[in-house]
A and B are shown apart, each in its own frame.
Chain A
Amino acid sequence: MSTEALRATDITKNFGSISALSGISLHVNKGEVLGILGDNGAGKSTLMKIITGYHKPSSGQMFINGEAVSLNSVDHARSLGIECVYQDLALINTLPIYHNMFLNRELRNSFGMLDHKAMRKRAAAALDDIGVTVPSVDDEVALLSGGQRQAIAIARAVYSNAKILLLDEPLAAMGAREAGLIIDLIQRQRARGDISIIMIMHNYAQTLEIADRVMMMQRGTVTFEGAAKDTSVEALLDIVRREYRAMRAAAQ
């Protein structure tokens, strides 16, 4: 039905003698939201850092739009349209929203001076377009709520032409109203059809609500993968429990 934006096959990653990922495969289609669930230490962050070009995999292959790629750096991944919104959001509290929107991609006039006016205008237009409401783009980010900050960070990634957008726990430590705001924002991006979204999540119910497809990771392997509508929180928890029982049995 839809075309594949990203595919990773048999990704492994060892840190010295420790194996963080032992043969992970995943794919995400254009306009699809993939939710990745898993406990701490399951390897989600490592996988994320491989996709963003921060880590090199020990083995395995990545394809973007069907073409094999070997990512050299975060900048390289970015040039291919892979953008990541980290949990710390990479926002600068003491700078206004419009400077944050253009951080390290500032607009300048012909004298090399910052074009504050153009950045202000374009940031406001971009936020409007993406559907993020803020009182003023001149506000310092420190004045915003957690949800607004998350929205700004996502908007920045989308505005910088993200094709594959990675979100690291986009709803962490957020109240229901704020989470609703971000869920709306994510769904609007999906509706555009040209962006693929990979979310690292902790909350099962929220993941099933937002994601098209769910992948569960445990101890560096994939223990479940399937359409969100075909599974339930209970079914996913069953898999987790089964894994733990197996782990305990193996330890004895």
Chain B
Amino acid sequence: MSASALTFRQRSRKIFALREASIVVVAILLFVYFASVNGNFLTTPNLETLSQFIAPPAIIACGEVFLLICGEIDLSVGQVFALAPFVMAFSVHAGLGIGVGIVLAIVVSALVGLINGAITVLLKVPSFVTTLGTLFLINGFTLTISRGYPINTPGGQTIANIFGAAGYNEFLWALLIVAIMHMVLRHRRWGLHTIAVGGNLTGATEAGINAARIKIGNFMLTSMLGGITGILEAFRIGSTDPLAGGTNIMFLAVASGVIGGTSLAGGSGTIIGGLIGATVLGVLQDGFTLQGINAFTFDMIIGGAILIAMIANIHVGRLNRGGRS
């Protein structure tokens, strides 16, 4: 190992570290800014609210990061978010226990992912189009079975508290899921093969990796995480709304992943980055709400932040690959 080679390696590492560190710095700066301009920001009730802003997109971002890495995207996850708690509620109404209801809801979510994956991989429809179709389909389905009205989330207060209604519980669920998904991405074959499939589909296939299995699996994973998030939110809010989630939560999740450094071109990304991305968006949302900024203005700010993050994503990514596009 020559000295010049080492510095080259260190340099490439430094750029990578910089890329993740810069988002952390942005998150901290925003946090400090809002804490200094608004006395209510650092109060316990607000920090709990903030954690509830961050948790849902952070969980769904775990799935979208896996999908983006393997070269796909799921636009329908926000509709699964709305569908899953209805499956749970109807199961309870039908006399099944809440535990069975939760399991059934997750199974139905996984099924949606299976359909998304099968149409994309086996019928070769781009996932952008596949999941745009299932987005409307599931939305209509949920509105039909709910007749368009919200219902009370079943179960007592204890179970609701466990699943996210109390304090930081929803955020703790998010941290647990982030930890597991980070481990899968960095330390399991599944994660490595997800990167391989997105980095070089032909190459991964030639090496004997079953790309269809990886992609379909990641669609199922994303849908399941969407369903789980929908259930957590239904417990937290106490009401199950057919219009909950939707494209808003989906775009926040994708934006979290991309702001966190996941490549839109596939082949690289980080789960921790997704959590940091969700934190940045959550702090912006919470901070501006406290400041009393108009919701329309807020959308412009979020839009601008996402654009800047996407531009940085593409260009910092190129820098990281040694100038190769």
Contacts and interface: CB of A to CB of B under 8 A. Distances in A.
A114 B187 contact: yes
B206 A90 contact: yes
A230 interface: no
Contact of B200 (A75, A78, A91): A91
Chain A CB within 10 Å, residue with most, of B1, B196, B199, B206: B206
Interface stretch (B6-14, B35-43, B53-61, B89-97): B6-14
Nearest to B193: A104
A75 B208 contact: yes
A228 B206 CA distance: 31
Interface stretch (A37-45, A92-100, A175-183, A203-211): A92-100
Contacts of B2: 135
A143 interface: yes
B30 interface: no
Given A92-B200, A95-B199, A104 B187 contact: no
A229 interface: no
Interface string B251-263: 0000000000001
A94 B268 contact: yes
Chain B CB within 10 Å, residue with most, of A88, A94, A104, A116: A94
A24 interface: no
A224 B203 CA distance: 33
A100 to B, nearest CB: 9
A113 interface: yes
A90 B202 contact: yes
A92 B267 contact: yes
B8 A92 contact: no
A3 to B, nearest CB: 29
B150 to A, nearest CB: 43
Contact of A95 (B192, B202, B206, B321): B192
Contacts of B220: none
B200 A108 contact: no
Interface string B1-32: 11001101100100000000000000000000
B209 A103 contact: yes
B156 interface: no
> Secondary structure at chain B's binding surface: helix, strand, loop or mixed?
helix
B9 A92 contact: no
A114 B194 CA distance: 14
Contact of A114 (B5, B189, B208, B321): B189
B273 to A, nearest CB: 14
Interface residues of B, number: 31
A26 B181 CA distance: 50
Interface residues of A, number: 28
A113 to B, nearest CB: 5
B196 A92 contact: yes
A106 B192 CA distance: 9
A103 B189 CA distance: 9
B321 A93 contact: yes
A73 to B, nearest CB: 10
Given A75-B208, A89-B203, A139-B9, A95 B187 contact: no
Given A94-B268, A113-B187, A136-B1, A88 B193 contact: no
B315 to A, nearest CB: 15
B12 A139 contact: yes
Nearest to A136: B9
B310 to A, nearest CB: 18
Interface in B91-133: none
A171 to B, nearest CB: 20
B195 interface: yes
Given A89-B203, A92-B199, A135-B5, 15 more contacts: A90-B207, A92-B195, A92-B204, A93-B200, A94-B268, A95-B192, A103-B204, A103-B207, A104-B204, A106-B192, A114-B186, A135-B9, A140-B12, A143-B8, A143-B321
